[in-house]
Amino acid sequence: MNQRVFVALLTVGVFLAGFAARVWTEPRQSVPPAPATLAQEYARGVPSSAAGKKAERQLDREKLVAEIQKLRPQIEAYSAQVQEIDGEFDREFAQILTAPQREKFFGNQKKWSERDAKRTAKRELLSDEDIQREQDRSMTWIYWKVTVTPRLEMLTKEYSLDATQQHATRALLAMRRNKFMALFDATPHPSIRLSRLAPLIERVLAPAK
């Protein structure tokens, strides 16, 4: 992945992360349905070829599964390196925390681990929207892996870091960013895009009867 492509992907990731943050933080408001007359007028104005194009855009699940299987070695290697970089940061970050801060940090890690385990353990078939969401999240994660200040602000707020801890954490985040930049630059885009979906591959296709 060359630098120009990576910058473009990161820009998209920043936009999606900001949009997701807005969705999560703003109160949910119900959107009134479009007037029936408007919907009818729109339906009459849509050419039949548009319906055909929409059908063509439907998700090809068998092709997606085949792509994941083909790229599985690269996906697993990429995911293992992500976990290694994150694990190294977590261990060094824990060392600069006080005992109460460290207890809260480990508690959060346990909670996130249990959440991920529940996500992987589910067996119902993923919807097209679920599949697209998992691929999008794989890309938006890049933003959180390579930015320093937003992550530092979040950690400072979550664990009430003092000035000395903030300085040390910023240095750790900068080192982590450099490692992730090297990893992203060396990893083909499809392997990154499918990294969150690969563990859920059994939920992409319905089992054969």
Q: Which DSSP symbol is given to 96?
A: T
How would residue 103 be classed by pLDDT, with cut points 50, 70 and 90?
Answer: very high
Q: Given this model, what pLDDT does residue 208 score?
A: 61
Question: For residue 8, is pLDDT > 50?
Answer: no
Classify residue 180 as exposed, middle or buried by CB count within 10 Å of its CB (0-12, 13-18, 19+). Answer: buried
> Which sequence spans correspond to the domains of the chain?
3-20+60-201
Residue 165, pLDDT score: 98
Q: 183 burial class (0-12, 13-18, 19+ CB within 10 angstroms)?
A: middle
What pLDDT does residue 179 have?
96
Query: Taking a C-beta distance cutoff of 8 angstroms, is the pair 126, 200 a contact?
Result: yes
